[in-house]
Chains A and B, each alone.
Chain A
């Protein structure tokens, strides 16, 4: 059914928007901070 397909497309578009909205948020500094700390730990040990 064509109408169902169109509806699925509209839902799909919104689903991607919902996901991309978070993807496009600025990453909290905490993430990079944690990674930086782990990286410096491993280079000290290595």
Chain B
């Protein structure tokens, strides 16, 4: 592969062992983040690690095209995401959710600062459309700026902003409905029927 590269692009400076070493060091530091992002895409930890490994190797093979000093984290996340979608890997089972109805049923909670249960959050995330989920994860958990997330997802910055904001509202609605249910207080009928529908649809198949 190195020989081919030299023949095709004779003007390019040859890659030194030091370049590879620097690239590898940075790539190794990104592995935990690639695993975390893959986990949010795949749901299943083993499938996520397969995806993260494939993305890591794709990045390594493409190292000649990476400009050192630019954002390697965003670059590798983009590779991982493309890999995921190009192979149409198995994702979380998508629950059905009438998002607009969910957002309309936003309810007040007793204590808005009360901690959110982790399993409820995971469940809530599965109910979001995939493009909203990934936008929210990248910006809300991955620490990417909207511009970087837009680059990773291959869409406009405004699109990312709107996906993140819709995802936040929907998640809020989903989670707080859950809180009301658990407390035994009366739950919004609209939301309950949506969830029942979602359950029915996912078991019928």
Binds A, one of B74-82, B155-163, B171-179, B188-196: B171-179
Residue picked from A4, A14, A32, A45, most chain B C-beta under 10 Å: A14
Binds A, one of B83-91, B92-100, B135-143: B135-143
Query: Known interface pairs A12-B140, A22-B35, A28-B49. Does A6 touch B168 (Cβ–Cβ under 8 Å)?
Result: no
**Contact of B176 with A18 in the complex, beta carbons under 8 Å:** no
Partner of A46, one of B2, B33, B39, B108: B2
Q: How far is the CA of A7 from the CA of B116 in the complex (A)?
A: 9
Nearest CB on B from A31, distance (A)? 5
**Main secondary structure on B side of the interface with A:** helix
**Contact of B118 with A22 in the complex, beta carbons under 8 Å:** no
- In the complex, what residue of chain A is closest to B32 when comparing beta carbons? A23
**Segment 95-119 of B: residues with Cβ below 8 Å from A:** 106, 108-109, 112-116, 118
Nearest CB on A from B131, distance (A)? 17
**Contact of A10 with B113 in the complex, beta carbons under 8 Å:** yes
Nearest CB on B from A8, distance (A)? 6
In the assembled complex, B150 has its CB within 8 A of some CB on chain A: no
Q: How far is the CA of A36 from the CA of B1 in the complex (A)?
A: 17
Please, which residues of chain B bring their CB within 8 A of the CB of A38?
A: 57, 60-61
Query: Known interface pairs A27-B31, A27-B35, A28-B49. Does A4 touch B113 (Cβ–Cβ under 8 Å)?
Result: no
In the assembled complex, B20 has its CB within 8 A of some CB on chain A: yes
- In the complex, what residue of chain A is closest to B50 when comparing beta carbons? A30
**Contact of A27 with B32 in the complex, beta carbons under 8 Å:** yes
**Contact of A19 with B172 in the complex, beta carbons under 8 Å:** no
Query: Known interface pairs A3-B112, A7-B109, A27-B31. Does A15 touch B137 (Cβ–Cβ under 8 Å)?
Result: yes
**Segment 11-27 of A: residues with Cβ below 8 Å from B:** 11-20, 22-25, 27
In the assembled complex, B204 has its CB within 8 A of some CB on chain A: no
- Give residues in B with beta carbon < 8 Å to A: 1-3, 15, 17, 20, 24, 27-28, 31-33, 35-36, 39-40, 49, 52-53, 56-57, 60-61, 106, 108-109, 112-116, 118, 121-122, 136-137, 140-142, 168, 171-172, 175-176
- Give residues in A with beta carbon < 8 Å to B: 3-4, 6-20, 22-25, 27-28, 30-32, 34-35, 38-39, 42-43, 45-46
What 5 A-B pairs have minimum CB-CB distances, sorted nearest first? Answer: A19-B141, A22-B36, A6-B112, A14-B116, A46-B2
